[in-house]
Chains A and B, each alone.
Chain A
Amino acid sequence: MRTLVRSFSLMLTLAVFSCVTINIYFPAEEMRGAADKIVNEVWGEKTAPGSDSVTPPPASKSPGNSFYQALLPSAAYAAQDINVSTPAIRAIKDSIKERASQLIGLLNSGNVGLSHDGLLKIRTTDGLSLKQKGQLNQLVKAENSDRLRLYKEIAKANNFPDKADEVQSIFASSWRDQAQKGWYLEKADGSWQQR
């Protein structure tokens, strides 16, 4: 009987511990907050004062608290601050910020729209002279180059260098969410809609 109890206790213990796993996950929510902050900052109007380091929202509680749920595989969420300030990130943000006023003018006029992939896209060049088109091309090319580099640097600074695409995707939402009324947003099918 004692052997049976011991064995049962051992199996129960093993079962409980085997259900506890550590998931190293991509902190999408935290990244979304960081992205919102950066977008807010470079577009200038909603910049929040304070540290460059974004405090992540409280880690969501593991759903459920019943004994049954306790037996289910649970996640020990690795709470992670999203680092959005390294020398590279700061330099790139400054570069983006520097050309923001010009780009906002072009976004207001509809010449440039926000693409669905977190970049800018020339929507129309109607009404622009060749010289203005050249300037537009330079601006958009430089901006997109900076943005791509920004996404890579943020991914690298936060130890998921292979997640630059996901960072870009989250930033795409932030750019679009904070777009001003009247700006053009590219839909997934390539068409444009005005906010």
Chain B
Amino acid sequence: MKKTLSTVGLTLLALLLACAIGWFYADQLLDGVARPQLENLAGTLLDGQVKIGRLQRTEHGVEALDLQVSTPQISAEIPRLIVNFSIASLWHRQLEMILINQPQVQLKLDGKQEPGDASPQQSAPQLPFSVALIQITDGQFDLSASPRTFHFQQLNFSGSLQPRSPFTLSGSVGEDSPDRQSFNIAGELRFSPARTLTLQRVSWQERQILNAPLTVALAEGGMDLKDSRFVLADFDDRQLQELFNALNQPSPLPKGLDFALNKVGIGVSFTDSGAQLELTVDSGQITWNQFNSSFSRLRADLLQTSQGWEMSGQFSGPAQSNIRVNARLDHNKQWSGKARLLIADPGELKEALFGGSPMAFRGGLELATDFSLSGTNLAITTKIQGIPSKEQNNQYLLNLSTMSGELKLSLRDGKESFSLALSQASQPLLRASGTSQKINVAVQAAQLDAIKQLLPPGRIPNQLQEAAAIDLSGEISATKTGWTGQIRIAAKHAVIEGLTLAKLSGRSKLQFNSDRIIFSRISANSDVAYGATLTGKINATAAAEISKSGLILQLDQVAVTDINYNAEDGLSGIGAAAVSVVGSVKGDWPLQTIALDLNGTLSVQEVLAGVFYADLSQYKATFSLQGEENINTAELRARSLKINLPQIAQLTAAGHFKTGKIDAQGQVKFIELKESYNKTIKPLLEGTVTQLEALELSGHTTVDYHVLKQSTGWQVSGATIFKGLNAHWNQEKVAIIDGNGSLPFVIGNGSLPDIPNQPRSSGEMSIQALTFGPATIKQARLKITAEPNRMTLPSSLRLQLADGVLAISDLTMGWDEGQPQGELNINVAGVNLEALTRELGLPVMQGSLSADLGKIRYHNRELSTAGVASIAVFDGHFKISNMRYIQPFTSHPTFSADIDFNAIDLQQATRTFDFGEMNGILDGHIRGLQLYGRTPAAFEASVSTRDSGTRNISVKALNNINILSQGGMSAALSRGIYRFIDFYRYHKIAFDCSLVNDTFTLIGTARPDSKRYLVDGSFLPPRIDITISTPTISFKEMVKRLSRIDRTSGKT
């Protein structure tokens, strides 16, 4: 193009010279002679055709009208061309003015000729003359560079052709009005000392786009760009778009890509080896769809070498990121190079680039990338290395500081693939590979600590204490709507709140998209253990869906089988228990609260609790639970909990359950007691609670309860409601007939600060009949008051006892210091001893019984009273005091008391007990009596008959006394005259005896001067004395003697 312009200039100059010469020869010469010559000359020079419609002289020069130039590359029409000069100016090789009005120039560029092809080493021709003023008005210039054509219109140029030629150029680019862009250029063309073109101002659409003058060197064939630099002011995608629109060119920018650059510096230079381009941008902003990034201090150098192009550059991105790139483009158009990206804050970078919610990471990343691009084949290998963070904030999503790895991306023949390997603290953690359509992922962690180091403190619940050999793997494939695949997880063991899951394995199918994640066909198996005491196996099948609306977990079956628990001390345990659960778990996401709707079964083969052992293999309980669980607080709000124990009872409950805290109430409804107790509960308690073996129950029982448990204590209150209760214990020695009503209870331990007012409740029982041995009451109505660990009968209970009354009042039963306690008042009055002894199956005795036992206490496994029982029998009185019954409910009970008696009619007494008849009145006492069971263990007694009244003793009685005192019958009584005598008179019977330390001592005190006489015979014959041969005998011997006593009735 430059060559063409030069040719046109020379042609015009020749034409002007011809015009000047012909100045003196009139217009005909000018138009007739000079014009054809000029046309030919110009045509030759331009290698085309030049036509001048008319050439005529003007006042200051010549003008050419309808000038047409046609060459293979140029087509120009100039309606009027005025050239002003004078002889003097011509002498000085100077034209005064060239005025070109409304030129229309079309320039066609073939592909072989480019502006840059001109060698910068060629020297430009010297100016043949100078022009003081060159002015082009309203010009039009079409530049055709197939297939595109650039239209310049309204071109106005004002300049000169001198060694220093300042100029201005204005016009517009574009064909149609909307896309036409105006421009203004002011600059200077220098021809010496070097030919340069300096653009001082360039405005585009009235915006200045140059911050500094742009100077380029001019060669003969065009511009010499060696070491040319210019700085653009602001430049953005809109301007670029306008430029391309004006040039009638499609935009080269991808759709959605916006940018804005500030202070763009461009330097171009050429060396022997090729061109060099230097690009600097102070700051900029790029937006592409959701991607948005600012950058600064961009510097890029593009160097043409013999092998191709080499590029190096760097810029600072957002979030203190920095990129360095070194790349090479070879002659095969293959890119290769390295990039190094430093990301100080990946979370901030992500937010800056893609927006969205903030993501915080601990540590930064350094990415070192090797890449190559050949055609459509792309290969990228990136080394990933975490960078420690200076900040110690614990509010982060992931800790990248100790992470390292490698990412490989490959695009070959249109198929992409990648592989990613990440390590945590130099230990392999994650491996992923695949394509954009299918990904394989494997996460391996030798210890939980490797994962804990990735996450902030507390992100892994503290309940998960340990995990080892974690192996998570999966394959996912892209679908039209998201991803699908399956995952597998395995772990050698994991410890949750002390519960160890061993040989853990699970798998699930997986589907997810932006809205939801669906886990289907979940199956999991694990051995479970709690310390060395509890073991079991878990098998679960389920399905789950997680979406914005929450979590839905459908438990097809969760079974814990082979549960065996053995307490460390071996004193309790369960064997072969199993729990099976089905149902659903629903909750919001992230999980805060979950709704539970579960049903299940529970079975236990064996149970051991201390000395209690039961075989429960015949029983299987079912349960259901509806409620909500707060994950954060681990609090369960049970709306309905039902446990059905077949053949025993059904339990319902509702309330709040939390570790160490319970507030629940409900009901236990027993199946008819004849079925539940007699056939189920009692057999289970056999051998453990032996007292219950003699208890038979029937009727209906329901227990309403309220359980409160806090860290400081617990309490269960409520009432047991009986309907038609019949209870018989110990062959009906104790019996309750048709009991109805409620029995309140409040039991607990510790304190409950949240419940300052201790509950007190009352109830009432109506009983058709109540029997305690010989004592009975009918149509009784009992009011019962319950306080913590205490139950009171405020009203008295009057039982009929052998024509008399046994009154019980102020009955209180309680539980304190881990032992049962109680007290009551018993008063017995008017009891007919004959009736009582008959009822009890004892030797029938005449008399009466009364007792004011006062306060009877049961404390520390001992029953005691300060009261006194009085028995009027055998015309005398017995007074029993200091009664204590130690450990009455054990196999070794001991009873102790003091007994005083007086005025006992021996005849009645000996008849009653078939000891052998005696007459007389007896007084005495027994002190410190201790009965071990029914066996005397110790006592001290003193007995003597009164010295008045009839005093006879039968032979049988004599023999029995003799047996006790000497161990054998007296043969003398069956010989001689004695064998005809049945009764003997005696003066006194008296003795002291004691049982101490298993030694029985008997001292006869019938005679004041001796310790040998048990029986002091009368003065009148036949006289019989009984003396003691050995006062001290062993207890064993005493028992032998007692066994030899003749108790046959009918004989005296």
Which A residues form the contact surface with B (CB < 8 A)? 52-53, 83, 85-88, 91-92, 95, 122, 124-125, 128-131, 133-138, 141, 145-146, 149, 157-158
* Pairs across A and B, CB under 8 Å, 17 listed: A53-B998, A86-B997, A86-B998, A87-B933, A87-B937, A92-B892, A125-B570, A130-B606, A133-B566, A133-B573, A135-B613, A137-B571, A137-B611, A138-B687, A141-B610, A146-B892, A157-B997
Q: How far in angstroms is the closest Cβ of chain B from A125? A: 3
B932 touches A91 (CB 8 A): yes
For B599-626 the 0/1 string (1 means CB < 8 A from A) is 0000000111011110100000000000
**Best-surrounded residue of A87, A88, A95, A124 (most CB of chain B within 10 A):** A87
A88 touches B892 (CB 8 A): yes
A131 touches B615 (CB 8 A): yes
B575 touches A130 (CB 8 A): yes
Task: Give Cα A88 to B573, complex, Å.
Answer: 35
Task: Give Cα A124 to B688, complex, Å.
Answer: 22
Chain A residue nearest to B565 in the complex (CB): A130
Given the interface pairs A87-B1035, A88-B937, the reply to whether A130 lies near B611 with Cβ below 8 Å is no
Task: Give Cα A128 to B573, complex, Å.
Answer: 12
Q: How far in angstroms is the closest Cβ of chain B from A50? A: 12
Chain B residues, CB < 8 A from A141: 610-611
B998 touches A133 (CB 8 A): no
A83 touches B892 (CB 8 A): no
Chain B residues, CB < 8 A from A138: 611, 687-688
Chain B residues, CB < 8 A from A86: 932, 937-938, 997-998, 1035
Chain A residues, CB < 8 A from B932: 86-88, 91
Chain A residue nearest to B935 in the complex (CB): A87
Task: Give Cα A149 to B891, complex, Å.
Answer: 11
A124 touches B570 (CB 8 A): yes
Task: Give Cα A141 to B613, complex, Å.
Answer: 14
Q: How far in angstroms is the closest Cβ of chain B from A170? A: 18
Chain A residues, CB < 8 A from B1035: 85-87
Residue B485 CB within 8 A of the other chain:
no
A134 touches B613 (CB 8 A): yes
B998 touches A83 (CB 8 A): yes
Task: Give Cα A137 to B383, complex, Å.
Answer: 66
Q: How far in angstroms is the closest Cβ of chain A from B610? A: 6
Residue B569 CB within 8 A of the other chain:
yes
B607 touches A130 (CB 8 A): yes
Chain B residues, CB < 8 A from A88: 892, 894, 932, 937
| 8 A Cβ contacts from B1019-1045 to A | 1034-1036
Chain A residues, CB < 8 A from B998: 52-53, 83, 85-87, 157
For B882-895 the 0/1 string (1 means CB < 8 A from A) is 00000000111010
B571 touches A131 (CB 8 A): no
Chain A residues, CB < 8 A from B566: 125, 130, 133
Task: Give Cα A131 to B894, complex, Å.
Answer: 33
Chain A residue nearest to B566 in the complex (CB): A125
Task: Give Cα A129 to B576, complex, Å.
Answer: 11
Chain A residues, CB < 8 A from B569: 122
Chain B residue nearest to A111 in the complex (CB): B570
Chain B residue nearest to A90 in the complex (CB): B998
Q: How far in angstroms is the closest Cβ of chain B from A129? A: 8
Q: How far in angstroms is the closest Cβ of chain A from B1001? A: 14
Residue B536 CB within 8 A of the other chain:
no
Chain B residues, CB < 8 A from A149: 892
A134 touches B608 (CB 8 A): yes
Task: Give Cα A131 to B571, complex, Å.
Answer: 11
Given the interface pairs A87-B936, A130-B607, A137-B611, the reply to whether A95 lies near B891 with Cβ below 8 Å is yes
A91 touches B892 (CB 8 A): yes
Chain B residues, CB < 8 A from A134: 608, 611-613
Chain A residues, CB < 8 A from B606: 129-131
| 8 A Cβ contacts from B343-372 to A | none
Chain B residues, CB < 8 A from A87: 932-933, 935-937, 998, 1035
Chain A residues, CB < 8 A from B613: 130-131, 133-135
Chain A residue nearest to B887 in the complex (CB): A149
Task: Give Cα A95 to B891, complex, Å.
Answer: 10
Q: How far in angstroms is the closest Cβ of chain B from A41? A: 15
B615 touches A133 (CB 8 A): no
**Best-surrounded residue of A122, A137, A149 (most CB of chain B within 10 A):** A137
Chain B residue nearest to A128 in the complex (CB): B570
Q: How far in angstroms is the closest Cβ of chain A from B999? A: 8
Task: Give Cα A75 to B894, complex, Å.
Answer: 37
Of A91, A130, A135, A157, the residue contacting B573 (CB under 8 A) is A130
Task: Give Cα A194 to B938, complex, Å.
Answer: 42
B571 touches A122 (CB 8 A): yes
A158 touches B573 (CB 8 A): no
Chain B residues, CB < 8 A from A124: 570
Chain B residue nearest to A89 in the complex (CB): B998
| 8 A Cβ contacts from B10-37 to A | none
Additional pairs, 11, CB under 8 Å, beyond known A52-B1034, A83-B997:
A52-B998, A86-B932, A86-B938, A86-B1035, A87-B937, A91-B932, A91-B933, A125-B566, A130-B566, A130-B607, A158-B997
Chain B residue nearest to A137 in the complex (CB): B611
Chain A residues, CB < 8 A from B936: 87
**Best-surrounded residue of A52, A128, A130, A149 (most CB of chain B within 10 A):** A130
Task: Give Cα A145 to B369, complex, Å.
Answer: 81
Chain B residues, CB < 8 A from A128: 570
Q: How far in angstroms is the closest Cβ of chain B from A131? A: 6
Chain B residue nearest to A158 in the complex (CB): B997
4 tightest A-B CB contacts, nearest first = A134-B613, A125-B570, A83-B997, A87-B935
Task: Give Cα A136 to B610, complex, Å.
Answer: 10
Chain A residue nearest to B613 in the complex (CB): A134
Task: Give Cα A34 to B935, complex, Å.
Answer: 23
Q: How far in angstroms is the closest Cβ of chain B from A155? A: 12
For B560-575 the 0/1 string (1 means CB < 8 A from A) is 0000001001110111
| 8 A Cβ contacts from B860-915 to A | 890-892, 894
Q: How far in angstroms is the closest Cβ of chain B from A99? A: 12
Task: Give Cα A116 to B1036, complex, Å.
Answer: 34
Chain B residues, CB < 8 A from A130: 566, 573-575, 606-608, 613
Chain A residue nearest to B576 in the complex (CB): A130
Q: How far in angstroms is the closest Cβ of chain B from A167? A: 15
Chain A residue nearest to B997 in the complex (CB): A83
Chain B residues, CB < 8 A from A91: 892, 932-933, 935
Chain A residue nearest to B614 in the complex (CB): A134
Chain B residue nearest to A150 in the complex (CB): B892
Task: Give Cα A122 to B569, complex, Å.
Answer: 8
Q: How far in angstroms is the closest Cβ of chain A from B895? A: 12
Chain B residues, CB < 8 A from A158: 997
Chain B residue nearest to A146 in the complex (CB): B892
Q: How far in angstroms is the closest Cβ of chain A from B1033? A: 13
Chain B residues, CB < 8 A from A53: 998
Chain A residues, CB < 8 A from B615: 131
Task: Give Cα A130 to B611, complex, Å.
Answer: 11
Chain A residues, CB < 8 A from B890: 145
Task: Give Cα A136 to B936, complex, Å.
Answer: 33
Task: Give Cα A118 to B938, complex, Å.
Answer: 27
Chain A residues, CB < 8 A from B571: 122, 133, 137
Q: How far in angstroms is the closest Cβ of chain B from A191? A: 16
Q: How far in angstroms is the closest Cβ of chain A from B532? A: 11
Task: Give Cα A124 to B566, complex, Å.
Answer: 11
Chain A residues, CB < 8 A from B894: 88
Task: Give Cα A53 to B1035, complex, Å.
Answer: 12
Chain A residue nearest to B605 in the complex (CB): A130
Task: Give Cα A107 to B479, complex, Å.
Answer: 71
Task: Give Cα A36 to B816, complex, Å.
Answer: 39
Task: Give Cα A137 to B610, complex, Å.
Answer: 6
Q: How far in angstroms is the closest Cβ of chain B from A34? A: 12
**Best-surrounded residue of A53, A88, A91, A133 (most CB of chain B within 10 A):** A133
Q: How far in angstroms is the closest Cβ of chain A from B554? A: 36
Task: Give Cα A112 to B463, complex, Å.
Answer: 37
Chain A residues, CB < 8 A from B1034: 52
Task: Give Cα A136 to B890, complex, Å.
Answer: 19
